[in-house]
Each structure stands twice: as structure tokens, then as C-alpha cells.
Amino acid sequence: MIPAHLRILWVFTWREFREQYAGSWLGSGWALIQPVMTVFVYWFVFGVVWELRLPEPRDTGSTLPFIVFLLSALLPWLAFQDGLNKAAGAVLSRSEVVRHGAFPVAVFPVARTIVAHLVFIPLVLAFALVLHFLAGRPLGFAAWLALPLLLGVQFALAMGLGLLLAALSVYVRDVGFLLSMVLMMLFFTAPILYPLAQVPEAIRSWMWLNPFTPYAEGYHQILLEGRWPDPGIWLLAIPTAIAALWVGRWVFGQLRAGFADVL
């Protein structure tokens, strides 16, 4: 059954990607244009208007352009955010399929999570290559190894949460509205727009309650410092991703039987 489900997953992943841009003039070109425009806005506000620079994390005594710091965690965050937003409504948008037979509907939120990461992960890797070859910020072998590993753990977290949100959204239609507020809160309370070291020490430890904080710090250490992330990053990220996968899969399985009745 697993090979058959993988074939179905591949079909619906490709279908989700095509349908996302169906009917538009630029088609899949929007997959690149949208994140580039997002980055441009942040760069213009913080890099051009405010001319922000940050202390160099490699202890060279120089400063770091804000856009470099921003992109190191923003691009993975956009993949995470887009994956959750798309996965949350995946079952609802395929109600005509859910009502018919024992179709493996879990492929819908998983496919949407895959599509979101397939769009942004190449941008993350391209950014790493620019840092390594053009910006004079070489990444060591350990950093190149850690980058896909951390992205993979992030994908596992997003997939688990996506399954959970997709199942809950069938029964509670407010999930989508709540999710947008939660994601906004997570974005501003993770060290994406600012270094964790600049957070007041009294509340700094609370920042680690944000599930994306270890990822943001991990990407900073990989891309800005060119090294393997601290052990604490993995000790937080991996168990959280495993727990999210287990809970998401279990809740989805428990609620799956009633999807057709509710839809």
C-alpha cells in the first residue's frame, strides 16, 4: 500500500503545484516572484530607509547588512508559514473526493506542505551558494551538511502540524482565522527580524517556547557563522518535530472517519 500511496502523493503534489498558478499569465513564475517581492519590501524598509546593520556574528569586528541576516531565517519561515496555511484548508478544498470511498485523504495536506517547501527550499540553497561563493562568507562542510538536515526537520514539523490543522479545520471552520493570528505572533516572537541577543535578558528564555526559534537560530548559525548548529538547537527541534508528526497523524486518523459526514 505504501508505494501506491506514494504514487498518489506524487500525483497530487504535482497537481497542487499546477493548480496553484492555473489561469495566471505568469503561471509558476509567481512561485519566484512572490517571495522575491516580499524580500524586496523588507530590504527597502530596513536596508535602504533605515540602513540597519548588525554586529558581525563571526567576530570580525565589522557589521552585517540587515538583508543578509533577514534572509537567513525569513526564507525558511516563508516555507513553514505557507505550508501551514495551505495544509489547513487541504481537506476542505477536496470535499468532493473525501465524500467518496476510502481515499487516502492525508495526501492532500502533505502534498500542500511539500509544494510550499519545494518553492522556498531552492531559494534557501541559492542564498547559501551566494553567501559561499559571492559574499565572502564560506560555509564549512558541517554547515552544508546541517542545512538540508535542519530543513528536513522543519518539513517534518510542518507536515505534522499541517495534518493536525487539516483535520481540525473540517470540524472547526475558525481554525483558518486563528492560524493567521498565531502565525503572525510566531513570526514576531521568533528571532527572524532581530538577533536573539538583542532581546531583553528577562524575557529571552521565553522566546524558546516559540517552536520556530530553534530553527531561526539554527539557520543563523549555519548561514551566518558557517558552522554546525549548537546541540541545544537539535534537542529542541527534533523532538518537537517528532511529537508534531505523531500528534498530527494520530488526530487525523481519529477524525478521518467523520469527514464525509461533516462535509
* Per-residue pLDDT reduced to its tens digit, 183-220: 999 999 999 988 998 889 889 999 999 999 999 999 99
User: Does residue 251 surpass a pLDDT of 90?
Assistant: yes
The answer to whether the CB of 170 falls within 8 A of the CB of 263 is yes
Residue 2 predicted with pLDDT over 50: no
Asked if 236 and 230 count as a contact pair (C-beta separation under 8 A), the reply is no
pLDDT tens, 118-135?
888 888 988 899 888 877
User: Rounded CA gap, 126 and 128, in Å?
Assistant: 5
Alpha-carbon span 194 to 200, nearest angstrom = 12
Per-position DSSP letters for 15-79, written without gaps between them: HHHHHHTTT-SSGGGHHHHHHHHHHHHHIIIIIIIS--EEE-TTSSSSEEEHHHHHHHHHHHHHH
Of 126 and 64, the one with more pLDDT: 126
What rounded mean pLDDT belongs to the chain?
85
Q: Which of the four pLDDT bands, split at 50, 70 and 90, describes residue 22?
A: low
Section 84-102 average pLDDT: 81
d(CA 239, CA 228): 18
d(CA 12, CA 17): 8
